[in-house]
Structure 1
Amino acid sequence: LVGLRGFEDRKIDELSGGERQRVALARSLAPGPQLLLLDEPLGSLDRILRDRLAGEIRTILKNLGVTAVFVTHDQAEAFSVADKVAILDNGILQQFDTPENLYRVPQNSTVARFLGFHNLIEGCLDGDALFHSALGKLPIDHPDETIREKTTLLIRPEGAALDRQTNHRVHLAGIVSDCRFQGASYMLTLTVNTIQLVFDFPIDPVPPQVGQQIDIHLCSSALVLIND
């Protein structure tokens, strides 16, 4: 079940970290529980092993039909394992939803910050669906009727492009204040009217240099209004 056939005679100090976690999971599943609590089960492992075991744990639990509460402070780990994610702050439930809904529509700034979003802009929404802030006036597509006049705008980091595209109708101009290579992407910080915004850009083509003034274009789905 957990991929340890032939390990019966191994001593505990002869097992790797991942193998020990598999043993712990097997022992937890042996009584046939209806509900399982996994408290940071992958916290001591390296990233590659954590990613692999997270997928294995999800598959095993699905095959056995066992419900599990998986406690973690790692957003990516939670998303890769869970059908539903609950975000708690100081013991208070902030949001309980599918991973995709959490990412697309965080209910408040606490949830957005936990998910790693940096671009949270305070402002107000007028009757013409224009968001007013230090960034200027930004058009919002189909704002939720429950959104209050004074609200917060989340700009998702993957929603920017250097070239104008058909679905990118929001334009911002600013100066590149930082650019960091992250392997699969560059994390670019753009200063717009004293506000620093963080965006992810692909590694090709090479992004603008620090100090360069650029224009970026945002797709409408990258602009999310949230109530606090």
Structure 2
Amino acid sequence: MSVRVRRVTTTRTGGVSAAPYDTFNLGDHVGDDPAAVAANRSRLATALGLGPDRVRWMNQVHSARVAVIDGPGATVDDVDALVTAEPRLALAVLSADCVPVLLADARAGVVGAAHAGRVGAQHGVVVNTVEAMVELGARVQDISVLLGPAVSGPNYEVPDQMAAEVEDALPGSRARTARGTAALDIRAGLARQLGGLGIRAVDVDPRCTVEDPNLFSHRRGSPTGRLASLVWME
């Protein structure tokens, strides 16, 4: 018997933060008024039908580290992925161009959420998240994944050497801008990586954070707020 899995990604509208964080900023590390961030997080938890203590946040550091959690608690420091088998416990990823990766095995009742920026993706944060889920009883063939809104390849220009290094670690991620310069499409690389692990159910949110004014984008303009992408089991 499968559980019901929910996946949600916010936009930048519907909150109380002032410019340049207007309005639904959920990041507490970008210079916004802490009271506004707290109010936005409370509003999010209410909208999801969860109590504020049922949303778990991370202090993300562009690492490949994963934490397994089993209930409410403080923000988890120095990790970029969370995994749980606890129902009605939402795992939250903050992003503003990096890839939020929401994973679930509805049969086993295990979910995971990873923050896959260039560095974390290059060093295997998503692979580590899958491994942590399997240790909790998930089966790779039963895992489904949503790759959330992120900067698209044509808008993620990088030096040639960086593109080559990331491509070596995450094949399929090298891209080109409209001008033909080197770029990265981290979502494309992650989709290929997940397929290589045996995960076939991979959906990609097509929105580009740089192009969509309804989303926060660090590359489009900084300082700015952060979106939240969440996964949980009912």
Higher CA-based Rg: 1
TM-score (norm: length of structure 1): 0.29
